[in-house]
């Protein structure tokens, strides 16, 4: 049966619709043909599917063919059985007769002869040519027709219908349609049943030695084709799915060595959507088919049906899985296939699938979920294609132009190199190409990173290509690295990511033009590129792909097209992370082309994503690129912001030297000729908090000082030209904010700094810290960020809420100090004596306080003695205060009085103390030393004492 494969495919391709044969007994076809053909295609034809359920086919195409037609006549009986799908599904017998005798003697026997073949589905259309005005003729026609009905129709089956040419009955055409479709349905059911029986028999023999997959295939595909012709695509698809399953079961039977295929020119161009790529008889092998071609053929048949079912999404979905699994098969046969066959096939397959699915896909026709999933698959296909394309480009020397980004590195560094049996060798007479490649390698020095960042470049290769290529060459033994590296010692440890082009840079022994010896010595990198390029030219037959790898410009164009395609589809599928990451790759290309504006926009999107989600390792990779763009674009605000963001990142992500470079850029710009002051939020870099412990307490009207801790994230000292800190009243938000200013420059050291700010008198209430603002040159910065205890001590970094702990409390006016006399006895006239004033601070610090003493008339401070002060508790320890006399100075501190004012010592600011004032009551009338109660007014003196706490 396998011999019929070629014929089978030809017939299959030439017949794609159902055939209805017309037995024109009375030469009527030319008359009725037009009317019949107008019924095509049949609308809402009711057929049975494989599970014998009724299905309405919207449009069933068919063709009327006369039985005398050559197409139906020249068939051999055995072909009928093999290619049953092309046999007529119904036979219409066109007759007319105007005479009853004629009917009986001529027509009836003839008709009996025609319909004796029971296998055919037939019915008779009696055409009446009688004019309606001709009653006799009409009557005769009716008679003949009724006789016909009696002879050929049965109770079970109505097999006759009558067409009046001059005035067709209204329901004739519906009746005709019904009868045709009924015949088709019956034929279809019978044929399906037959094929199913045959297939069942064959399936049972599947594990027997006589099993022949080709036979099974022809039957199975015939059945699928029968369904396809009947527009029952769903059933046809199921047949192909079963066929695929059966093939995969039988193809890998152990012990049977089969050719895989894929060795012919042009095979690298995926044919997964082109079922007619190769004739089936060319890919047959023994009792089965070659895997390489046949699996693609089956997928092409399935996808064709899926497209007919308007399910491009499913084609993409199945296609992606198919490419992945087929790629694995290609890997296992890699050693016999042409160089990089797998990569090239995946590229062409992905592109073909993307092209076909996107052209069949119409937006808005499917549910949102399916739409998202479709774009996700398209994105995956683009990504896959992009990845393999990058690998090919790397092999021919464009690797230095590939961005060493996390996405490229993650994809390429874990993707193994191709494993050909023997790595391609350099062709003869390729010296000029090698020189060109060497020149390209030398020119493509890696772009130094901005800010002098010396990060180790991310690898794009699983291992050094130089080593891999030379290891796989037949004539070389592996491992002699010194030989490979032109006899030069290698600095440091060789790691996959460690400057892959070192070897090419240090060519000292190479003699351009002398390539004959390249068989024996290791190939240099440029030679590997040239060898790979030549090998790829042999592999690739697709002119577009060859063109895309022919020059750097063409490569970049294709690379950009694939990256954009992937990014665009990922965005549409709401996979923003995948999309934005690829936007970053587009930005890198834009940057390389000097299109900094576009690059900056894309980089901003990437940075916003990483920063928003807090993936700092990834952000640290991209942010310097954005900063560089902004610098080139003279976007001062953006550049400053980027520098600050770089400084705010985790310290471990950059070297201190690099962080210093960020800071110096900030300072340089701040002090440069910026046209306008640039506002900048440095909340992540400068944080602040009040002192730990209780808030500062002040009384209404009192000035004070407030010390604030400021944490600087800058790596070096930084000078702030001015600093403002707002205090927000907690009791009344309408009150606005009070700004504390420090106009003198403040130098912030890295880490914690404590600064003291003068606090002007405030209204009573509680205050919390608000916003820190300041200026560095022309840079106006602002920080909202509170530190709970400094970044180092903070372990609760999940908590971002604003601390509400008041830093300052200003109280209402109240007595702040209690002054009472220590002695209430009478004074001796004209005798110097000590008067004690007990000073008790009432929850208030008397630091810097000044006591004004006004003695009043008749009392004089004895200035020859110093005023003394001692702790009140010391005084209480003494047996009696009355015993105190001038000259006793236990634990006393001398104080000076000037113009009736005494400055309080610091030690007495918080504790109760006694101030001893030497006084003398003066009276001209009384003799010295006499005692009198006349100076009771002395108490009043202290009432006038006034404390001032000038702070």
Q: How far is the CB of 407 from another protein (least distance, A)?
A: 6
Cβ atoms of residues 850 and 902 within 8 Å: yes
Stretch that binds another protein, among 479-487, 593-601, 610-618, 622-630 (CB under 8 A): 610-618
Among 100, 150, 336, 410, binds another protein (CB under 8 A): 410
Q: How far is the CB of 373 from another protein (least distance, A)?
A: 8
What is the dihedral sign for C-alpha 742, 746, 750, 756? Answer: negative
**What are φ and ψ of residue 546, in 5° steps?**
-60, -40
* Residue 547, both tokens: 């063109």
**What are φ and ψ of residue 457, in 5° steps?**
-70, 145
Omega before residue 41 within 30° of 0, cis: yes
Stretch that binds another protein, among 331-339, 455-463, 672-680, 778-786 (CB under 8 A): 455-463
Q: Give me the residue label for tokens 């099974």.
A: 216
Cβ atoms of residues 330 and 307 within 8 Å: no
Among 70, 368, 414, 511, binds another protein (CB under 8 A): 414
Q: How far is the CB of 462 from another protein (least distance, A)?
A: 9
Residue 578 contacts another protein per CB under 8 A: yes
Write the CB contacts of 744 (distance below 8 Å, at least 6 apart in sequence): 722
Site string for another protein, 321-340 (x = CB under 8 A): --------------------
Residue 617 contacts another protein per CB under 8 A: yes
Stretch that binds another protein, among 87-95, 571-579, 629-637, 784-792 (CB under 8 A): 571-579
- Residue 135 or residue 613: which is nearer to another protein going by CB? 613
Among 406, 750, 803, 900, binds another protein (CB under 8 A): 406
Helix (H) or strand (E) holding 78: helix 77-82
Work out the angle at residue 349's Cα, subtended by the Cα atoms of residues 343 and 354, and round it to the nearest 5 degrees. Answer: 125
Question: Whose CA is closest to 300, among 212, 199, 224, 216?
Answer: 224
Cβ atoms of residues 315 and 306 within 8 Å: yes
Q: How far is the CB of 405 from another protein (least distance, A)?
A: 9
Among 84, 333, 615, 942, binds another protein (CB under 8 A): 615
d(CA 110, CA 115): 9
By the 10 Å C-beta count (0-12 exposed, 13-18 middle, 19+ buried), 117 is classed as: exposed
Interface of this chain with another protein, residues 200 to 219, rule: CB under 8 A: none
Work out the angle at residue 834's Cα, subtended by the Cα atoms of residues 911 and 942, and round it to the nearest 5 degrees. Answer: 65
d(CA 217, CA 2): 9
Q: How far is the CB of 527 from another protein (least distance, A)?
A: 28
Q: How far is the CB of 437 from another protein (least distance, A)?
A: 27
Q: How far is the CB of 617 from another protein (least distance, A)?
A: 5
Residue 413 contacts another protein per CB under 8 A: yes
Cβ atoms of residues 666 and 779 within 8 Å: yes
Interface of this chain with another protein, residues 619 to 648, rule: CB under 8 A: 621
- Residue 497 or residue 932: which is nearer to another protein going by CB? 497
Q: What is the DSSP letter of 787?
A: P
Q: Coil, helix or strand for 783?
A: strand
SS3 letters for 642-672? HHHHHHHCCHHHCCHHHHHHHHHHHHHHHCC
**What are φ and ψ of residue 161, in 5° steps?**
-145, 160
Among 215, 497, 557, 726, binds another protein (CB under 8 A): 497
Among 44, 328, 419, 456, binds another protein (CB under 8 A): 456
d(CA 568, CA 382): 10
d(CA 91, CA 119): 11
- Residue 609 or residue 727: which is nearer to another protein going by CB? 609
Helix (H) or strand (E) holding 767: strand 765-776
d(CA 293, CA 277): 9
Q: How far is the CB of 722 from another protein (least distance, A)?
A: 35
Distances in whole angstroms, Cα of residue 918 to Cα of each of 250, 277, 849: 123, 123, 20
Among 407, 588, 895, 902, binds another protein (CB under 8 A): 407
Among 613, 650, 882, 906, binds another protein (CB under 8 A): 613
- Residue 107 or residue 390: which is nearer to another protein going by CB? 390
Residue 453 contacts another protein per CB under 8 A: no
Cβ atoms of residues 440 and 399 within 8 Å: no
- Residue 170 or residue 367: which is nearer to another protein going by CB? 367
The number of beta carbons lying within 10 Å of the beta carbon of residue 789 is 14
- Residue 529 or residue 610: which is nearer to another protein going by CB? 610
SS3 letters for 917-931? EEEEECCCCCCCCCE
Q: Coil, helix or strand for 752?
A: strand
Q: How far is the CB of 554 from another protein (least distance, A)?
A: 28
Question: Whose CA is closest to 710, among 673, 748, 683, 666?
Answer: 748
Cβ atoms of residues 125 and 93 within 8 Å: yes
Interface of this chain with another protein, residues 847 to 866, rule: CB under 8 A: none
Q: Give me the residue label for tokens 């197409």.
A: 71
- Residue 586 or residue 768: which is nearer to another protein going by CB? 586
- Residue 290 or residue 605: which is nearer to another protein going by CB? 605
Residue 614 contacts another protein per CB under 8 A: yes
Tell me the β-bridge partners of 821. 837
Q: How far is the CB of 414 from another protein (least distance, A)?
A: 4
Q: How far is the CB of 321 from another protein (least distance, A)?
A: 13
Q: How far is the CB of 618 from another protein (least distance, A)?
A: 5
d(CA 644, CA 680): 9
- Residue 208 or residue 414: which is nearer to another protein going by CB? 414
Q: How far is the CB of 172 from another protein (least distance, A)?
A: 55
d(CA 543, CA 717): 61
Q: How far is the CB of 585 from another protein (least distance, A)?
A: 12
Residue 588 contacts another protein per CB under 8 A: no
Stretch that binds another protein, among 404-412, 537-545, 627-635, 761-769 (CB under 8 A): 404-412
Interface of this chain with another protein, residues 796 to 835, rule: CB under 8 A: 798
Q: How far is the CB of 380 from another protein (least distance, A)?
A: 11
Site string for another protein, 372-401 (x = CB under 8 A): x-----------------------------
Q: How far is the CB of 94 from another protein (least distance, A)?
A: 60
Q: How far is the CB of 503 from another protein (least distance, A)?
A: 20
Stretch that binds another protein, among 210-218, 411-419, 431-439, 722-730 (CB under 8 A): 411-419
**What are φ and ψ of residue 403, in 5° steps?**
-70, 130
Residue 419 contacts another protein per CB under 8 A: no
Q: Give me the residue label for tokens 């059933």.
A: 235
Interface of this chain with another protein, residues 477 to 496, rule: CB under 8 A: 495
Q: What is the DSSP letter of 499?
A: -
Stretch that binds another protein, among 158-166, 451-459, 658-666, 871-879 (CB under 8 A): 451-459
d(CA 370, CA 572): 12
Q: How far is the CB of 614 from another protein (least distance, A)?
A: 4
Cβ atoms of residues 460 and 402 within 8 Å: yes
Q: How many residues bind another protein (CB under 8 A)?
A: 29
Contacting positions for another protein (CB under 8 A): 372, 406-407, 409-411, 413-415, 456, 458-459, 495, 497, 570, 575-578, 581, 610, 612-615, 617-618, 621, 798
């Amino acid at each position: 049966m396998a011999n019929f494969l070629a014929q089978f495919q030809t017939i299959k391709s030439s017949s794609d619709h159902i055939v209805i044969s017309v037995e024109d007994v009375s030469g009527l076809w030319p008359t009725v043909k037009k009317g019949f053909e107008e019924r095509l295609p049949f609308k809402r034809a009711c057929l049975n599917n494989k599970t014998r359920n009724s299905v309405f086919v919207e449009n069933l195409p068919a063709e009327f063919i006369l039985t005398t037609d050559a197409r139906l006549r020249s068939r051999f009986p055995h072909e009928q059985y093999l290619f049953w799908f092309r046999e007529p599904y119904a036979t219409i017998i066109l007759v007319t007769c105007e005479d009853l005798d004629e009917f009986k003697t001529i027509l009836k026997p003839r008709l009996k002869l025609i319909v004796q073949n029971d296998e055919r589905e037939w019915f008779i259309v009696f055409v009446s040519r009688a004019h309606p005005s001709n009653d006799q003729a009409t009557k005769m026609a009716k008679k003949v027709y009724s006789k016909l009905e009696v002879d050929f129709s049965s109770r079970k089956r109505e097999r006759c219908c009558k067409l009046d040419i001059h005035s067709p009955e209204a329901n004739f055409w519906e009746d005709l349609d019904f009868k045709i479709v009924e015949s088709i349905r019956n034929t279809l059911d019978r044929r399906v049943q037959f094929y199913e029986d045959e297939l069942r028999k064959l399936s049972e023999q599947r594990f027997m030695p006589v099993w022949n997959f080709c036979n099974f295939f022809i039957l199975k595909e015939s059945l699928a084709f029968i369904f396809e012709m009947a527009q029952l695509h769903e059933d046809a698809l199921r047949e192909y799915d079963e066929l695929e399953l059966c093939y995969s079961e039988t193809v890998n039977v152990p012990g049977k060595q089969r050719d895989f295929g894929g060795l012919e020119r042009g095979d690298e161009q995926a044919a997964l959507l082109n079922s007619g790529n190769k004739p089936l008889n060319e890919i047959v092998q023994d009792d089965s088919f070659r895997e390489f071609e046949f699996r693609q053929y089956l997928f092409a048949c399935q996808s064709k049906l899926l497209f007919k079912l308007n399910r491009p999404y499913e084609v993409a979905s199945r296609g992606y899985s198919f490419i992945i699994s087929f790629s694995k098969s290609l890997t296992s046969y890699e050693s016999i296939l042409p160089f990089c066959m797998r990569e090239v096939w995946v590229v062409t397959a992905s592109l073909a699938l993307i092209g076909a699915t996107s052209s069949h896909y119409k937006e808005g026709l499917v549910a949102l979920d399916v739409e998202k999933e479709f774009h996700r698959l398209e994105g995956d296909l683009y990504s896959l294609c992009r990845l393999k394309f990058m690998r090919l480009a790397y092999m021919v020397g464009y690797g230095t132009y590939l961005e060493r980004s996390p996405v490229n590195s993650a994809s390429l560094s874990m993707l193994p190199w191709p494993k050909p049996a023997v790595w391609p060798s350099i062709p003869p007479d390729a010296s000029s190409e090698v020189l060109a490649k060497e020149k390209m390698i030398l020119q493509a020095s890696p772009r130094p990173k901005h800010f002098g960042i010396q990060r180790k470049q991310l690898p794009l290769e699983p291992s050094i290509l130089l080593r891999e290529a030379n290891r796989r060459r037949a004539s070389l033994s592996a491992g002699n690295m010194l030989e490979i590296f032109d006899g030069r010692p290698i600095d440091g440890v060789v790691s996959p990511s460690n400057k892959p082009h070192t070897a090419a840079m240090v060519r000292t022994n190479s003699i351009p033009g002398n390539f004959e010896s390249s068989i024996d010595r290791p190939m240099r990198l440029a030679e590997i590129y040239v060898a790979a390029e030549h090998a790829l030219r042999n592999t690739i037959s697709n002119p577009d792909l060859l063109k895309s790898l022919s020059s750097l410009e063409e490569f970049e164009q294709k690379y950009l097209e694939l990256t954009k395609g992937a990014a665009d589809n990922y965005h549409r599928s709401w996979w923003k992370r995948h999309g934005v990451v690829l936007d970053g790759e587009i930005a890198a290309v834009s940057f390389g082309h000097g299109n900094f504006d576009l690059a900056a926009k894309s980089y901003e999107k990437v940075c916003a994503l990483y920063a928003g989600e807090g993936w700092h390792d990834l952000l640290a990779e991209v942010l310097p690129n954005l900063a560089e763009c902004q610098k080139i674009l003279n976007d001062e605000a953006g550049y400053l912001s980027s520098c600050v963001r770089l400084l705010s990142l985790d310290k471990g992500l950059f070297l201190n030297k690099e962080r210093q470079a960020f800071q110096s850029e900030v300072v340089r710009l701040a002090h440069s000729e910026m046209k306008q002051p640039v506002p900048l939020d440095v909340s992540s870099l400068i944080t602040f908090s009040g002192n730990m412990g209780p808030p500062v307490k002040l009384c209404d009207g009192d000035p004070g000082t407030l010390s604030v801790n400021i944490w600087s994230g800058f790596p070096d000292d930084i000078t702030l030209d001015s600093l403002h800190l707002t205090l927000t009243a907690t009791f009344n938000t309408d009150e606005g904010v009070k700004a504390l200013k420090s106009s003198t420059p403040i130098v912030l050291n890295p880490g914690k700094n404590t600064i003291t700010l003068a606090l002007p008198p405030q209204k009573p209430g509680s205050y919390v810290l608000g916003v820190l603002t300041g200026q560095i040159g022309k840079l106006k910065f602002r920080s909202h960020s509170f530190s709970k205890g400094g970044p180092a001590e903070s372990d609760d970094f999940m908590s971002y809420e604003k601390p509400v702990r008041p830093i300052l409390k200003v109280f209402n006016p109240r007595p702040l100090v209690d002054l009472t006399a220590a002695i209430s006895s009478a004074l001796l006239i004209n005798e110097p004596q000590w008067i004690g004033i007990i000073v008790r601070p009432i929850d208030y610090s008397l630091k810097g306080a000044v006591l004004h003493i006004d003695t009043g008339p008749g009392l004089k401070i004895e200035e020859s003695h110093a005023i003394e002060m001692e702790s009140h508790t010391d005084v209480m320890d003494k047996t009696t205060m009355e015993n105190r006399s001038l000259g006793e100075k236990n634990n006393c501190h001398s104080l000076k009085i000037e113009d009736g004012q005494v400055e309080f010592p610091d030690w007495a600011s918080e504790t109760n103390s006694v101030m001893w004032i030497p006084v003398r009551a003066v009276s001209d009338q009384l003799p010295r030393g006499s005692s009198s109660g006349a100076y009771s007014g002395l108490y009043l003196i202290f009432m006038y004492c006034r404390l001032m706490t000038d702070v």
